[in-house]
Homo-oligomer: A and B are copies of this chain.
Amino acid sequence: MLDLVIKNIGELVIVPRGPIGGRSMHEVATISQAALVVQDGRIAWFGPETNLESPRECHTVDAKGGCIIPGLIDCHTHTVFAGTREGEFVKRLQGKAYAQIAEEGGGIRVSVEAVRGASCEALIELTLPRLQRMLLGGVTTVEIKSGYGLTVDDELKMLEAVARLKSFQPIELVGTYLAAHTTPREFADRPDAYLDLILDDTVLSRVRDENLAEFCDVFCERTAFSVEQSRRVLETAKRYNLRPKLHADQITQIGASILAGEVGAISADHLETIHDAGIAALAKAGSVAVLLPACSFFLGVEQAPARRMLEANLPVAIATDYNPGSSMVESLPLTLGIACTQMKMTPTEVLVAATANAAAAIDRHDTVGAIEVGMQADLLVLDVPNHHRWMYELGRNCVRLVIKKGEVVVGEA
C-alpha cells in the first residue's frame, strides 16, 4: 500500500484516545496549516506542514484548507431491520400513547414480524443502502444490535446479517446480542422462560464461537426486563466473553444505571432519567454514558441531562439509536447537531462523543476514534475550515472525503 500524505489541512483536530471524561476537553488540540502521513493504513505522522518530510513514493491528498477529524463511530444502532412504522409515527404526533398504538397493532411487534419474515439475504439487502448513506456522512464504524427476531434463530439471523455485511462495504461493523430486547408474544407472562431459551449454553457458545457478537445488551425497563432479570442476562453472557451493555434509565428510573455499574458494563445507554446515584455508579465502574439525542428528538421528549454527566467527568458518547420505532434518524452528524442545540454540548464535546468515546463504548479505543500515531487511519476531510463550522452548518453534509484504513472510500482525492 502506497503511503498517503494529506496536505493543506486548515485545521487538524487532534482527538486523543478515549475514553475522555467530560472535564478533559482541553486535551483536544488543533493544528492549523497541518499535514498528516499514513503508512500501512495507520497514522504515521502529523504536524505543521512546514515540518513535513514526504516519503518518496506516496499518494498526495489536498485537503484544500478543510478540517480533518477522525472517522465517526455510531456506537448504538439497530440498523438491521425490516419494515417501516410511519403510521405509528403519525399516531404519536396526534397524541396517542405507545400502549394504545401497540393495542392497535403497532409498536415493536411490527418490526419483529417483518424481521422474522425476512431471510438473512433480505436483511442484508435492506441494510446495505443504509450503511452506504451513513458512510457518506462520515461514519466509518457502526455497532448493530439484534433484537427484532426474538427467537433464537431469528436473533442469530440478524447477527449473521451483520457479520456478512462486513465484507460488502467499507464500514467496520460490531455486533451486539440484544435478544433481551423485549419478551416476545409467545412468552407473554413467561419472560424467564424466554430468557432460559436465549441464554442457553448452545446459543451463547455459538454466538461466541462464530464471533457473531462482542457485546450483550438488555432493555432494562419497567415494560421490558427487571433489574434482576437484566443482571441474570448480563452475568450469564459475560461467561461467554460477551461484555455487558444496557439500555438504562430511558423511560422510568428502576435502578438500571446502578446495575450497569455493578456488572461493570462497558456502556450504559439512553440515561434520559439518570439520577446522581446512577452517575456515580457509572463513574465508579468506568462505563461510557452513551446518549441518544435523536431518539428523544424523534419522540419529542426530554433529553438526557448531558451537562450533568459531563460535569461529573463521565466519558459521554453519542449515537443515533437508528431504528424504525423510536429513532428513524440514520444521520450521526444530524444527531450531533441535536446534541449541540438541545443538550448544549459544544462541537468539541460532540466530536469526542462520536469518536474517542464512541470507540471506548465498543472497545475499539485502541484502534479508532483518535488522531494519534499508530491509530488506524480512519479520517474525514471536511469542506469547512474548522470543526465548529461543521456543527454550525446544521443539517448540511460537510464531508468531502472519507478515508477508511488509509484508503479514500468516499469522494475524489
A interface list, Cβ under 8 A from B? 84-87, 89-90, 93-95, 133, 294, 297-300, 328-331, 334, 340-342, 344-347, 386, 388-389, 391-396
Q: Tell whether, in the assembled complex, residue B330 and residue A95 are in contact, meaning their CB atoms are under 8 Å apart.
A: no
A–B Cβ pairs within 8 angstroms, 28 of them: A84-B389, A84-B392, A86-B347, A86-B386, A86-B392, A87-B388, A89-B388, A89-B391, A90-B346, A90-B347, A90-B388, A90-B392, A93-B340, A93-B341, A93-B344, A93-B346, A94-B346, A294-B394, A297-B341, A297-B342, A299-B341, A300-B341, A300-B342, A328-B392, A328-B393, A329-B394, A329-B395, A334-B394
Give the chain B neighbours of A85 by CB distance below 8 A.
392
Question: Min CB distance, A160 to chain B, in Å?
Answer: 26
Question: Min CB distance, A390 to chain B, in Å?
Answer: 9
Give the chain B neighbours of A391 by CB distance below 8 A.
86, 89
A392 is contacted by which of B89, B299, B334, B386 (Cβ under 8 Å)?
Answer: B89
Q: Tell whether, in the assembled complex, residue B328 and residue A86 are in contact, meaning their CB atoms are under 8 Å apart.
A: no
Question: Min CB distance, A353 to chain B, in Å?
Answer: 14
A395 is contacted by which of B84, B299, B330, B340 (Cβ under 8 Å)?
Answer: B330
Q: Tell whether, in the assembled complex, residue B298 and residue A394 are in contact, meaning their CB atoms are under 8 Å apart.
A: yes
Q: A93-B345, A133-B396, A330-B393 are in contact. List 13 more A-B contacts (CB 8 A).
A: A86-B388, A86-B391, A89-B340, A89-B388, A89-B391, A90-B347, A90-B388, A95-B344, A299-B341, A300-B341, A300-B342, A331-B395, A331-B396
Interface centre among A93, A300, A386 (most CB of B within 10 A): A93
A389 is contacted by which of B86, B340, B341 (Cβ under 8 Å)?
Answer: B86
Number of copies: 2
Name the residue of chain B whose CB is nearest to the CB of A344: B93
Give the chain B neighbours of A346 by CB distance below 8 A.
90, 93-94
Name the residue of chain B whose CB is nearest to the CB of A296: B341
Give the chain B neighbours of A328 by CB distance below 8 A.
392-394
Name the residue of chain B whose CB is nearest to the CB of A89: B392
Give the chain B neighbours of A331 by CB distance below 8 A.
395-396
Give the chain B neighbours of A386 by CB distance below 8 A.
86
Give the chain B neighbours of A94 by CB distance below 8 A.
344, 346
Q: Tell whether, in the assembled complex, residue A396 and residue B84 are in contact, meaning their CB atoms are under 8 Å apart.
A: no
CA–CA, A9 and B133, complex, Å: 25
Give the chain B neighbours of A133 by CB distance below 8 A.
396
8 nearest A-B residue pairs (beta carbon): A86-B392, A86-B388, A334-B395, A331-B395, A89-B392, A86-B389, A300-B341, A329-B394
CA–CA, A329 and B337, complex, Å: 11
Question: Min CB distance, A110 to chain B, in Å?
Answer: 13
Name the residue of chain B whose CB is nearest to the CB of A137: B395
Give the chain B neighbours of A344 by CB distance below 8 A.
93-95, 300
Question: Min CB distance, A176 to chain B, in Å?
Answer: 23
Q: Tell whether, in the assembled complex, residue A341 and residue B298 are in contact, meaning their CB atoms are under 8 Å apart.
A: yes
Instruction: Report if A396-B300 is in contact (Cβ < 8 Å); known contacts: A86-B386, A90-B346, A90-B388.
Output: no
Give the chain B neighbours of A87 by CB distance below 8 A.
388
Question: Min CB distance, A199 to chain B, in Å?
Answer: 35
Question: Min CB distance, A341 to chain B, in Å?
Answer: 5
Name the residue of chain B whose CB is nearest to the CB of A396: B330
